[in-house]
Chains A and B, each alone.
With several copies, the nearest count.
Chain A
Amino acid sequence: MYTDKVMDHFTNPRNVGEIKNASGIGEVGNAKCGDIMRIYLDVEDDIIKDVKFKTFGCGAAIATSSMVTELVKGKTLDEALKISNEAVAEALDGLPPAKMHCSNLAADALHEAIKDYMQKKGK
């Protein structure tokens, strides 16, 4: 059902947790479909110094959350904004079709977190 990469990120998720006084926080999903993702960012000079996540969801939801944090750590905000849900799925060697729309929301959560940071900074 899931690729080895998905299972790897599901069983050993990277960057789980919260960041105190985060520069930006993004949350997406809804309980109806069973996915809620929250991403915390620590931004310095437009660079993502640290990133953490908390996710309520299925294997795909946890794996995409974990993957997106790996993809953006150390990247600039501009680079991070270019990461799409599809790119996250691809980095995991794909997701089952049923999961593509439902739980592939990690990039959205990231973008929300960046938006939150921008707003806080008044940009």
Chain B
Amino acid sequence: MKRVYFDHSATTPVDSEVAKLILEYMTDKFGNPSSIHSFGREVRKSVEEARDKVAALIGAQAKEIFFTSGGTEADNWALKGIAAANRKKGNHIITSSIEHHAILHTCEYLEKQGFSVTYLPVDENARVNVEDVKKAITDQTILISVMFANNEVGTIQPIKEIGKIAKEKGIYFHTDAVQAVGHYPIDVNEYNIDLLTLAGHKFYGPKGVGALYIRRGVKITSFQQGGAQERTMRAGTENVPGIVGLGKAAEIAKLNMEKEIAHVRTLKNKLIKGITEKIPDIKLNGHPELRMPGNVNFSFLYVEGESLLLNLDLKGIAASSGSACTSGSLDPSHVLLSMGLTHEVAHGSLRLSLGRGNTEEEIDYCLEVLPEIVARLRSMSPLGAG
């Protein structure tokens, strides 16, 4: 059967050049960068070259990049590390209500440790209001953490404006840019970002490796104790193949970004247009313009997301949903609820996230099968016109 992958926001395949490089660093260049012999020295150099490449992708300096085991670790580190190092200055953190769980659950953890957290609301397009950020600031505020782009609905936040406010007030600004890095131009200096989270597996790099950008001078504690790796800030034998792969993925992303944005955006527009024309009673979730180039998210009224997904899967199409049933929790997506969707409508959401390998034919195929599936499920539904 034809297999169509429309779930790039969940994870991406590893670029074939990246994979080849990783293979080389597993079997030939397998040394430990802490070793002083030739096996160690050759990989130490490669790790530093990868650091340069990751830094270049976001306009940072190499010394400001610290490799982690992924986005979740970097998010945990940013929040807990800033909290621990700046507790004397204050105990208040500002974030948004639509962050990834790696941020939200870490905030809940910090609340138990005595920190106080403001969860900013969002509008119906999932955007944070810059005025709300200003109003939330107190003399206790030590950190603002707002994601660059949302993983479910793709909405891009007013990062530049928030960065400006944070800078003026002397408050650290962290952004979880896991969904944006490699797919959208980012410059940490232009945006006044102090800390930034990225993860390899969201832009054709390997799983199990990510990075935290920490602006020089930011006060933060180390995350894991042990050896002196990552300039004593993150102990543990470096995941050399992963790091080298991340570097390569960053290099490729920077090189091809414009071309890929154009490609993915064309497909996205075609898909949105097709769905809108072919299927009644739907709602586009997320901001109509300020959204990630590859993100398509619709709610199909009277229909539940998991059954939609399973039907698409039977046709070979891989997608994702904000329905509770896909996550094993009771409530549907906190993002969709924060945007003001009712439970029913949130349950009927479908995310199709496009990537560089997708084609027009795949969009056509999806536009062929999706209307039938929605119609069939609606004919079974006790809700709505049904």
Q: Do chains A and B touch in the complex (CB under 8 A)?
A: yes
Query: What is the interface of chain A, defined by CB distance below 8 A to chain B?
Result: 1-2, 10-11, 13, 16, 27, 31-38, 54-62, 98-99, 102-103
A54–B377 Cα distance when bound, in Å, is 10
A1 engages B36 (CB within 8 Å): yes
A37 engages B382 (CB within 8 Å): yes
B307 engages A31 (CB within 8 Å): no
Looking at A10, A34, A99, the one whose CB has the most chain B CB atoms below 10 A away is A34
Q: Looking at the complex, which one of A16, A31, A58 makes contact with B380 (CB distance below 8 Å)?
A: A16
Q: Collect the chain A residues with CB atoms within 8 Å of residue B311's CB.
A: 11
B324 engages A34 (CB within 8 Å): yes
Q: Collect the chain B residues with CB atoms within 8 Å of residue A98's CB.
A: 328
Q: Looking at the complex, which one of A2, A16, A34, A99 makes contact with B323 (CB distance below 8 Å)?
A: A34
A36–B36 Cα distance when bound, in Å, is 21
Query: What is the interface of chain B, defined by CB distance below 8 A to chain A?
Result: 36, 41, 302-307, 310-311, 314, 323-326, 328, 330-332, 342-344, 347, 379-383, 386
- List, sorted by A's number, 15 A–B pairs whose CB atoms are closer than 8 Å: A1-B41, A11-B311, A13-B380, A31-B343, A34-B323, A36-B382, A54-B380, A56-B303, A56-B304, A58-B307, A58-B323, A61-B307, A98-B328, A102-B324, A102-B325
Do A38 and B382 contact each other (CB < 8 Å), given the known contacts A33-B324, A59-B307, A102-B330? yes
**A32 to chain B: closest residue by CB:** B343
A58–B325 Cα distance when bound, in Å, is 7
A34 engages B325 (CB within 8 Å): yes
A31 engages B382 (CB within 8 Å): no
8 nearest A-B pairs in the assembled complex, by CB-CB distance: A58-B306, A58-B325, A54-B382, A38-B382, A98-B328, A31-B343, A34-B347, A31-B344
B330 engages A33 (CB within 8 Å): yes
Do A34 and B343 contact each other (CB < 8 Å), given the known contacts A1-B41, A10-B307? yes
Q: Collect the chain A residues with CB atoms within 8 Å of residue B304's CB.
A: 34-35, 56-58, 61
CB distance from A36 to the nearest CB of B (A): 6
Q: Collect the chain A residues with CB atoms within 8 Å of residue B381's CB.
A: 54-56
Main SS at interface, chain A: mixed
B324 engages A55 (CB within 8 Å): no
Beyond A55-B382, A57-B306, A59-B307, 15 additional pairs, beta carbon < 8 A: A11-B311, A34-B306, A35-B304, A36-B382, A38-B382, A54-B381, A55-B380, A55-B381, A56-B344, A57-B307, A57-B325, A58-B306, A59-B306, A61-B307, A99-B325
A58–B329 Cα distance when bound, in Å, is 13
A36–B307 Cα distance when bound, in Å, is 13
A2–B313 Cα distance when bound, in Å, is 13
A31 engages B328 (CB within 8 Å): no
A56–B36 Cα distance when bound, in Å, is 19
Do A27 and B310 contact each other (CB < 8 Å), given the known contacts A32-B330, A61-B304? no
Q: Collect the chain B residues with CB atoms within 8 Å of residue A61's CB.
A: 304, 307
Q: Collect the chain B residues with CB atoms within 8 Å of residue A60's CB.
A: 325
A103 engages B325 (CB within 8 Å): yes
CB distance from A3 to the nearest CB of B (A): 13
Q: Collect the chain A residues with CB atoms within 8 Å of residue B36's CB.
A: 1
A56 engages B382 (CB within 8 Å): yes
Do A27 and B382 contact each other (CB < 8 Å), given the known contacts A11-B314, A56-B304, A58-B304? yes
Q: Collect the chain A residues with CB atoms within 8 Å of residue B314's CB.
A: 11
Looking at A1, A55, A57, the one whose CB has the most chain B CB atoms below 10 A away is A57
A60–B326 Cα distance when bound, in Å, is 11
CB distance from B45 to the nearest CB of A (A): 10
**B40 to chain A: closest residue by CB:** A1
Q: Collect the chain A residues with CB atoms within 8 Å of residue B330's CB.
A: 32-33, 102
Q: Looking at the complex, which one of A10, A31, A55 makes contact with B347 (CB distance below 8 Å)?
A: A31
**B386 to chain A: closest residue by CB:** A54
